[in-house]
A and B are shown apart, each in its own frame.
Chain A
Amino acid sequence: MTSITIQPQHKDKIVAQQQALQDPNWVRWGLIFIALSFITLFICGPLFLVIYQALSKGLTAYWTALSEPDTLSAIKLSFFVALVTVPLNTVFGVTAAWAITRFDFKGKSLLTTLIDLPFSVSPVISGLIFVLLFGAQGWFGEWLVEHDIKIIFAVPGIILATLFITFPFVARQLIPLMQEMGNQEEEAALSLGASGWKAFWAVTIPNIKWALLYGVLLCNARAMGEFGAVSVVSGHIRGMTNTLPLHVEVSYNDYDVVGAFASASILAALAIVTLILKTILEWKQAKR
């Protein structure tokens, strides 16, 4: 320690700074060990188990389980729900972020808080809200029955619940970014004669595109993986209203281990792809 402070050389200065921030070796290795073992135990372990169980009776059994009509229909439904909800929530998210970062209005902070509501409410409650609204005994129940419209225990209910759950992802990614960027570039575009629409597509979208894609990606992952809210409104009708996560549960409850884990492996694969894309997008965003 004494020799460091005396020598004014640049290299030593850096060493001195690092020293101040460095913990003893046993703390460092201890923390690294705890973090690594946690990840292995709780993340890598289950992932390995999913793949192991899915393939426990061989590849043929795996493929048979996946190509069962109920499984295929669950996969289709999950993709369909994502296909409907993700674009809608992309539009909602951009609109909300725009409104919050570009305009001053009463109730703005309330809106900002409400956007986070789906994160803070238990998904089961979220699902239950829709049952209370549109279920047979719900507020709109009678009216819906009279007009022969099915929402609860049908695909529209699943879509509504998923929409609710995945609403925050895009807006939450965009709001801090758009706040930081300010609106001078858009003002510049307008002053150069661009219409508001043109300014949005030519200036705003290119500036927020990586954050937007990142939000869409997270939104998509959640839309496909959502269990709680969808479970409440779906009714678990095989081949009709079972999404992939619900199908995993139903299969497992039927002691169809291979079927359950084969379906789960698709969700796991989706998670891994999401993770890779997420890393790429984060890297792109940092480069911006």
Chain B
Amino acid sequence: MSISLFDISKNFGAFSALNHINLEVPEGELVALLGPSGCGKTTLLRIIAGLEHTDKGRVVINGQDKTDQNVSHRGIGFVFQHYALFRHMTVFENVAFGLRVKPRSIRPSNELITKKVHALLELVQLDWLHNRYPDQLSGGQRQRIALARALAVEPSVLLLDEPFGALDASVRKDLRQWLRNLHHELNVTSIFVTHDQEEAMEVASQVVVLNHGRIEQQGTPSQIYDHPANAFVSRFIGQTNVFDLDEHDADWLQTAGLLTPKQGEKIAHVRPHDIIIEKSIDNATPLATLKDWQHLGALIRIELVKNNLNGLSDASVFAELPNDKFKELDLARGDKVNLKIRQAHWFH
């Protein structure tokens, strides 16, 4: 089901958490609400769920205005960062809860509940744990159970609040992929909140970047990465070199002809992989020196500093090269290099 938000605003005392948010989530999408902590992303999710009231604006789910509807009638599934499993109930009872509290007239029979719960537990691959209690499970298992519990009521939309935030790095990686696959399988419109841009890019089909209670940009991961709408998005998504050509430590890039300001925009954001490095053979005009490099797995991150007449300047330029390319260049610390800039994003 689609979700539409119209002009949502929310204040906590004098603090404005959300500012005139308009958002359209088409049916079947897996959307990430991405932003630094305190940007209002969790508040927005809780407003969609009905766990928080909005001061202004409307929440429309599948064409129906749900703004004034209680959370228990909205038909949403909510997954909490810290799982919020019912600690006194077994895994089975946790998942069955949503079915058992239905009004008697539409409550499924006990056999039906049993069948459905086991089917859901199989879906999250944890049926073998059905008679355990939450405190006997690992974090990853708990979050999968929490997801199964939310799915039991066949929600029209699924809302996940930092679903992997409390998990170990390795478990998080696995679960991201798993959530993506699960979404492909179920195709229920989902929104998840995260502060981790990598996670948002990896899992979501649409990313909404929030900052200070406003939407900075909405788009597919590649749109966001390749065409950042503003300096904040560009900085927040992925690594980037920021060169302000008016500043003394970056104007050499213009002098050397590497960057040309575009229509008065003087601040260039350059992704590390858009910097091309060439080993300087003739020592006539080497621009920079390789100060340091780090092994990031498939990539090598290189720190370059500009050659000055009186030694090296402080401002560093970061470049990233594939591992094999780096070996080909055969560079060592202290080598003189030339560089080129493939492309830059320009901002005021």
A183-197 CB contacts (< 8 Å) to partner B: 184-185, 187-196
How many residues in A have their beta carbons less than 8 Å from beta carbons of B? 17
Q: Which residue of chain A has its CB nearest to the CB of B100?
A: A202
In the bound complex, residues from chain A placing their C-beta under 8 Å from that of B51 are: 187, 190-191
Cβ of A203 and Cβ of B78 under 8 Å apart?
no
Cβ of A193 and Cβ of B101 under 8 Å apart?
yes
- Whether A188 contacts B88 in the complex (CB less than 8 A), given A193-B72, A194-B101, comes out as no
Question: Can you list, as one digit per residue, whether each of A60-88 has a CB less than 8 Å from chain B (1) or not (0)?
Answer: 00000000000000000000000000000
Cβ of A194 and Cβ of B97 under 8 Å apart?
yes
**Cβ of B210 under 8 Å from chain A:** no
How many residues in B have their beta carbons less than 8 Å from beta carbons of A? 28
Nearest Cβ on chain A to B157's Cβ, whole angstroms: 11
In the assembly, what is the distance between CA of A124 and CA of B291, in Å?
A: 81
Residue from the list B50, B76, B77, B97 in contact with A189, Cβ < 8 A: B97
Q: Which residue of chain B has its CB nearest to the CB of A192?
A: B98
Cβ of B101 and Cβ of A198 under 8 Å apart?
yes
**Cβ of B86 under 8 Å from chain A:** yes
- Whether A202 contacts B97 in the complex (CB less than 8 A), given A192-B149, A193-B72, comes out as yes
**Cβ of A30 under 8 Å from chain B:** no
Question: Can you list, as one digit per residue, whether each of B43-54 has a CB less than 8 Å from chain A (1) or not (0)?
Answer: 000000111000
Cβ of A185 and Cβ of B150 under 8 Å apart?
no
Residue from the list A185, A191, A206 in contact with B71, Cβ < 8 A: A191
Q: Which residue of chain A has its CB nearest to the CB of B49?
A: A191
Nearest Cβ on chain A to B64's Cβ, whole angstroms: 16
In the assembly, what is the distance between CA of A95 and CA of B75, in Å?
A: 29
Residue from the list B70, B73, B80 in contact with A187, Cβ < 8 A: B80
In the bound complex, residues from chain B placing their C-beta under 8 Å from that of A207 are: 87-88
Cβ of A191 and Cβ of B78 under 8 Å apart?
yes
Residue from the list B70, B73, B84, B102 in contact with A188, Cβ < 8 A: B84
Cβ of B87 and Cβ of A185 under 8 Å apart?
yes
In the bound complex, residues from chain B placing their C-beta under 8 Å from that of A202 are: 86, 97, 101
Question: Can you list, as one digit per residue, whether each of B22-40 has a CB less than 8 Å from chain A (1) or not (0)?
Answer: 0000000000000000000
Nearest Cβ on chain B to A285's Cβ, whole angstroms: 13
In the bound complex, residues from chain B placing their C-beta under 8 Å from that of A193 are: 72-73, 75, 98, 101-102, 153
A171-227 CB contacts (< 8 Å) to partner B: 184-185, 187-196, 198, 202-203, 206-207
In the bound complex, residues from chain B placing their C-beta under 8 Å from that of A191 are: 49-51, 71-72, 76-78, 150
In the bound complex, residues from chain B placing their C-beta under 8 Å from that of A185 are: 84-87
In the bound complex, residues from chain A placing their C-beta under 8 Å from that of B87 are: 185, 207
In the bound complex, residues from chain A placing their C-beta under 8 Å from that of B146 are: 188
In the bound complex, residues from chain B placing their C-beta under 8 Å from that of A195 are: 72, 101
In the bound complex, residues from chain B placing their C-beta under 8 Å from that of A189 are: 86, 97, 101
In the bound complex, residues from chain B placing their C-beta under 8 Å from that of A184 are: 80, 82, 84
Sample 12 A-B pairs with CB under 8 A, ordered by A number. A184-B80, A185-B84, A185-B86, A188-B78, A188-B84, A188-B86, A189-B101, A190-B51, A190-B70, A191-B150, A192-B149, A203-B86
Given contacts A184-B84, A193-B101, A195-B72, 16 further A-B contacts (CB under 8 A): A184-B80, A188-B85, A188-B146, A189-B101, A190-B72, A191-B72, A191-B78, A192-B150, A192-B152, A193-B72, A194-B97, A198-B101, A202-B97, A203-B86, A207-B87, A207-B88
The 3 closest A-B pairs by CB, nearest first: A192-B98, A184-B84, A191-B78
